[in-house]
Chain A
Amino acid sequence: MITRRDFILNAAKGIAGLALPLTALEILSPDQLLAARGDSSKVRWAFLVDTFKCVGCGFCVKACKLENGVPLDANVTRTWVERYVLAKDGRVFADTPKGALYGFTTGKIDLGLGKFQDIKKEDIEKAFFVPKLCNHCENPPCVQVCPVGATYQTPDGVVLVDRTWCIGCGYCIMACPYGVRFFHPVYKVADKCTFCYHRITKGLKTACVQACPFGARMIGNIRDPNDPVSRIIRTERVGVLKDEYGTRPQVYYRGITREVI
């Protein structure tokens, strides 16, 4: 005859034992896991930057901030432009004053701590501008390290942050090799370039692509063989940033050199 005590104990054990695997199944459903690398998506967004065309006007930076609600007076930005000046004696100078929000309106290189580097025209071997933004990598290390699943990758390749779920630990910011992530000063969660997801899914171009007067930025679908961006990436000599990290970035660059980090 089973005692009341034993019955309660065994029932409790049974319920606890059932509750655990039942809820675990929700996380580890085989169907969901199999759907993992479904390359069925017809769209994979990719970006092309032409550093020959970029003049460093900074209109893209301003347009991005105003389009996406990053305060102008906050010293963080979803996209920025870097200036590289390579001198004839081999020295490399680079700066990005406020991310080029106000363009480059002086020839002096900003060295920080109030110091500037003058460089004469005849000493310049080559110099150019490099716009940067989130690479929406194929293997995004930032998504891998999010402890709660607040940042993720959409089926069409865009890496986004769920503002209602991010706990603000900053691990994704540490894990990004390209420095594109930051804490949004108003929402107090992680933020970064979204490829203007709200625009490209409506058939519009991203704010920075539209703003650029010189056509230095382009966005397209790399899976569409007729897309101009896709064609240039396939047929011309383009490079990517920090390829050695294995992130497989999807922002391609025409005309970057080994000095560009």
Chain B
Amino acid sequence: MKSHAWRPLYLVLGIVVLILIARQFLVPKSFGIHERGYMYGWYREENIEDWKRYPVSYRSEEYCKDCHSDKYSMIMQTPHAIIQCENCHGPAREHPSDPPKLEINKTRELCLRCHFPLPYPSSGRANIRGIDPEKHNPGIECSMCHNPHKPTLEGMK
């Protein structure tokens, strides 16, 4: 087949070979078909370890309770025991080294998340007591009168 007519085909095949060679250098070695098959398991396997190594930010109240035992034991006697410390104070991460202080959020909006009353039958929200923020001491921080770690009547300031 000495015809010149095959030349474009050779050129195209040459480009294909170049791409296949480039693949050897550019595609990470762990890329391939894994457990879930080609449709759902075509990926770079090292990525699983990458995701496992992602840093944990929220440490849970178990991490807080030893140093902050006073606030911890106080809140545990109240209905607010179900709330994680970090829900209001933000993630502990490597506290006390980083960050040295966690936020103390005194805005009304934080409390209104649960305590704005929504009379929804068939939802747990209906069981939480609340206030109308426009009528109940508007503009004043809730924590002026209520202690978040002891929200009972005894805890009122």
Report the bound CA distance from A54 to B118 in whole Å.
12
Closest-CB distance, B117 to chain A (whole angstroms): 8
A71 at the interface (CB under 8 A from B): no
Tell me, yes or no, whether B25 is within 8 Å of chain A by CB.
no
* Cβ of B48 to closest chain A Cβ, rounded Å: 6
Asked if A55 meets B35 with Cβ closer than 8 Å, knowing A164-B47, A198-B53, A213-B82, the reply is: no
| CB-based contact B23/A23 at 8 Å | yes
A91 at the interface (CB under 8 A from B): no
- Residue total for B at the interface (Cβ-Cβ under 8 A): 57
Which residues of A24-49 have CB atoms within 8 Å of chain B's CB atoms? 26-27, 29, 32-33, 35-38, 41
What's the interface size class on A, roughly?
35 or more
Interface digits, B113-139 against A, CB 8 Å rule (1 contact, 0 not)? 110101111111100100001000000
Q: Are B17 and A16 in contact (CB under 8 A)?
A: yes
Task: List the A side residues contacting B38 at CB < 8 Å.
Answer: 32-33, 36
Cα distance, A199 to B33, chains bound together (Å): 25
The answer to whether residues A58 and B113 also contact, given A104-B118, A129-B123, A160-B48 and a CB cut-off of 8 A, is yes
With A105-B109, A128-B120, A149-B31 known as contacts, the answer to whether A37 contacts B37 (CB < 8 A) is yes
Q: Is the CB of B53 within 8 A of A128?
A: no
CA distance A194 to B47 in the complex (A): 13
Closest to A139 in B: B40
Q: Identify A33's interface contact among B33, B54, B86, B91, CB under 8 A.
A: B33
Q: Which of B20, B38, B112, B123 has the most chain A CB within a 10 Å cutoff?
A: B123
A198 to chain B minimum Cβ distance, whole angstroms, is 4
